[in-house]
């Protein structure tokens, strides 16, 4: 079956795209906020699979570690700590649903139209880079070492700031 | 219209990733505009940041073959900033909840006149 193996990348892409977009729709559409957080984790996993399809293995692993492992758990903790009726179905939308829906739909359709009409469908993928983690590590340590250090400083500031803001009573 | 040719739809290229990222961004935009709960708005912002990351990785793979994984380095920084944003944002949400027992965005009107 030559045809099937030829279309295998397309099948994988559409499968993961449907998972990503479907669970993203669940994130913005469901009424139970805990379910929203679980579907957010599913969206992050779908995005990680898309990174794998793009041959960005290191980014996919980082995505799973940070987004699925840390950010989702952080959001779940915040939900548990801040909801009076956690896990109940309550109306979560404000009165701007219809204009916001048309705005988002216009954005998606406009972007798709622009993207499909330009030169990007003629772009060819570059040759597969072996060991993307190795070259990312080299780039972080050699040409981008100052942004790397500033990122660590930003993380430290965010850590201290989050603790100070969320502390119960500050004298 | 070359984009509607079935051959184009079945050979995955840069266009497909860009359209997927645009869809994810649009969904996140809708969520950030519509939801009343501050935590869900933060979740929608995370969706939009993920869409931007998909764009960066896709452009890095398809458009700058001589630079190595330059876009992936940018994605590392974006994920760092997004994690810091999530931590500080959720801390602010908890502080607001402690102040007025609600995280509904239409009830947070302390600074409105």
Best of B11, B13, B33 to substitute, by most chain A Cβ atoms within 10 angstroms, is B33
Average pLDDT over residues B71-100: 90
**Which residue pairs, CB below 8 angstroms and at least 24 apart, start in A46-52?**
A46/A16, A46/A17, A46/A19, A46/A20, A47/A20, A47/B24, A47/B50, A47/B53, A47/B54, A49/A12, A49/A16, A49/A19, A49/A20, A50/A13, A50/A16, A50/A17, A50/A20, A50/B17, A50/B20, A50/B54, A51/B54, A51/B57
Question: Pick the residue with more confidence: B79 or A96?
Answer: B79
Q: Please name the residue of chain B whose CA is at the shortest distance from the CA of residue A74.
A: B87
pTM of the model: 0.88
Question: Pick the residue with more confidence: A84 or A149?
Answer: A149
Q: Which residue has the tokens 């739809």?
A: B9
In this predicted structure, what is the pLDDT of residue A20? Answer: 94
Confidence of residue B46 (pLDDT cuts 50, 70, 90): very high
**pLDDT at residue B2 greater than cutoff 50:** no
Question: Pick the residue with more confidence: B95 or A2?
Answer: B95
For the segment A61-102, what is each residue's pLDDT rounded down to a tens digit?
999 999 999 999 999 998 888 877 666 667 777 778 888 999
A142 touches chain B (CB under 8 A): no
């Amino acid at each position: 079956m030559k045809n099937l193996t030829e279309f295998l990348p397309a099948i994988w892409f559409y499968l993961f795209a449907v998972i990503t977009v479907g669970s993203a729709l669940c994130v913005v559409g469901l009424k139970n906020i805990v379910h929203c957080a679980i579907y957010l984790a599913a969206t992050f996993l779908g995005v990680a699979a898309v990174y794998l399809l793009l041959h960005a293995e290191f980014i996919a692993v980082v995505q799973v570690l940070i987004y699925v492992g840390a950010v989702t758990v952080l959001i779940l903790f915040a939900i548990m700590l801040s909801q009076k009726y956690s896990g109940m179905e309550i109306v979560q939308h404000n009165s701007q649903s219809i204009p916001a829906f048309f705005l988002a739909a216009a954005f998606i359709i406009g972007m798709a139209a622009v993207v499909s009409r330009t030169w990007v469908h003629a772009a060819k993928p570059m040759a597969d880079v072996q060991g993307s983690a190795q070259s990312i590590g080299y780039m972080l340590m050699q040409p981008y070492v100052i942004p790397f250090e500033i990122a660590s400083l930003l993380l430290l500031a965010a850590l201290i700031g989050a603790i100070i803001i969320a502390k119960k009573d500050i004298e | 219209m070359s984009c509607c040719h079935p051959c184009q739809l079945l050979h995955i290229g840069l266009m497909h990733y860009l359209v997927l990222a645009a869809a994810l961004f649009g969904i996140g935009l809708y969520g950030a505009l519509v939801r009343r709960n501050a935590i869900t708005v933060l979740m929608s912002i995370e969706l939009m940041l993920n869409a931007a990351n998909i764009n960066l990785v896709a452009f890095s793979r398809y458009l700058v073959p001589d630079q190595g994984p330059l876009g992936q380095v940018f994605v590392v920084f974006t994920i760092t900033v997004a994690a810091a944003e999530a931590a500080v944002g959720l801390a602010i949400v908890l502080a607001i909840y402690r102040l007025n027992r609600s995280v509904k965005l239409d009830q947070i009107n302390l600074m409105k006149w």
